[in-house]
Amino acid sequence: MGPSERQKKILRAIVEDYVRTAEPVSSKAISQLPELNYSSATIRNEMAALTDLGLLEQPHTSAGRVPSALGYRLYVNELMQDYRLSTDETKSLNQAMEMKMAQADKVISQIGKLVSQLTDLPAYAVRSHVQQLSVKRFDFIGAGTQSIILVVMLSSDEIKNKLIRLPLVITDHDLKLLGAVLNASLAGIPASGFTPELIDRITKNAGDAASLVPIVVDFVADLLQAQQHSEVFLTGQNRLLSQPEFHDIDKAQQMLTTLDEDIISNLPATIGGNGTQILVGPEDISKELRDTSVVMTQFDIGEGMKGMIGVVGPTRMDYAKVTARLSYFAEGLAKMFGTSELPPSETDKEDS
């Protein structure tokens, strides 16, 4: 049987107090709240019940109570009140987002920094491709007799390029031929489809430009690989140190390295749930991370790409506030990357 309404109210009060103070919460503190006007003894009884239900924990016999992982779960699922962004906050959020984010991959790392600043916690940002990438079209631009520029447009509509210094002089005509052959044979094919036979055939058809084929193919293959592999940006680690739970250097370091290693490599895989997710440390990530939680939000970037921003903090963190900021941000971003409505003056700006 679950907790009573009053018990939930108390639980909520405890979580919120704990979030504020980072100290175990006493019955007295709760009994003094205007909305819970009972004596400390009454609260104590209820707290004992909540402890039996596994929603609270006691660091030691004569200390106050602290929410357990289960307690947090209940809190974030049912009890948490939407945090209302103040107009000041929305203003600064908007301002932050309006910042010129010059290049597409820079955007994602900028976002990380912003989120970190706004929550005063470490944050990370991920961009990951959910579809197999391929090249949509190839173009060559002559750049003097000694070099040409290869420009490829990916299926994600990103454009990448490479300057190729020529080992020999190649005529415009040959270049056109090569372009045509490549467009005919490689367009739409993901890196996994680059079989030796295919390459062979292309080389045969490429005429005098045959010597360029391996260079181009290697470049494209590398590119597709590299893009596939998603990127994670992590910033603001130092902000974690101001949290009291990490005043223990060892914990702090363990935390930071886990951040660097685990989170970075595992979280992209976690991508899949939708909207804002809250991972409560020991429950959802790893038992060692007693005091760590992650709040993350995903959003669509369109063109087969997803983005994700997340905040890492003490299990005791202000979920409501963090969540609010995060989703507001994610909405803004989704709009910014807006899949459909592209006003002609605000075209995509891509960089390879």
Strands 147-154 and 276-280: unpaired
Residue 146 burial (CB count, 10 A) = 11
Task: Out of 8, 9, 44, 290, point to the residue binding DNA (CB under 7 A).
Answer: 44
Contact segment (CB under 8 A) with a second copy among 10-18, 81-89, 146-154, 286-294 equals 146-154
Helices 213-228 & 196-205 angle (0-180, nearest 10): 140
- Residue from 53, 79, 198, 252 touching a second copy (CB under 8 A): that is 252
Q: Which does 176 bind (CB under 5 to 8 A by kind): a second copy, DNA, none?
A: none
| Cβ(31)–Cβ(43) below 8 Å | yes
Structure tokens at 325: 């900021």
**Nearest distance, CB of residue 16 and DNA, angstroms:** 16
Can residue 227 be called a binding residue for DNA (CB under 7 A)? no
Residue (242 or 339) nearer to a second copy, CB: 242
Q: Which is nearer to DNA, 18 or 299 (by Cβ)?
A: 18
Give the CA-trace dihedral at 35, 37, 41, 46, to 10 degrees: -30
- 316 belongs to the binding site for DNA (CB under 7 A): no
Q: Does 210 bind a second copy (CB under 8 A)?
A: no
Q: Which is nearer to DNA, 59 or 214 (CB)?
A: 59
Per CB under 8 A, the list member of 41, 130, 149, 184 interacting with a second copy is 149
Asked if 321 and 19 count as a contact pair (C-beta separation under 8 A), the reply is no
Q: Say how many C-beta atoms besides its own lie within 10 A of residue 247's C-beta.
A: 10
Is residue 4 close enough to count as binding DNA by CB under 7 A? no
Tell me the H-state helices in the chain.
Answer: 5-21, 27-31, 40-52, 69-74, 87-98, 104-119, 172-185, 196-205, 213-228, 237-240, 249-258, 264-270, 319-336
Query: In the structure encoding, which two tokens stand for residue 324, read together?
Result: 């609010």
Answer yes or no whether residue 340 interacts with a second copy by CB under 8 A.
no
DSSP state, residue 345: T
**What is the binding site for a second copy (CB under 8 A)?**
100, 102-103, 137, 139, 141, 143, 147, 149, 151, 153, 157, 159-167, 215, 219, 222-223, 226, 237-238, 241-242, 246-247, 249, 252-253, 256-257, 259-260, 342, 344-345, 347-352
**What is the binding site for DNA (CB under 7 A)?**
23-24, 26-29, 38-42, 44-45, 47-48, 51, 58-65
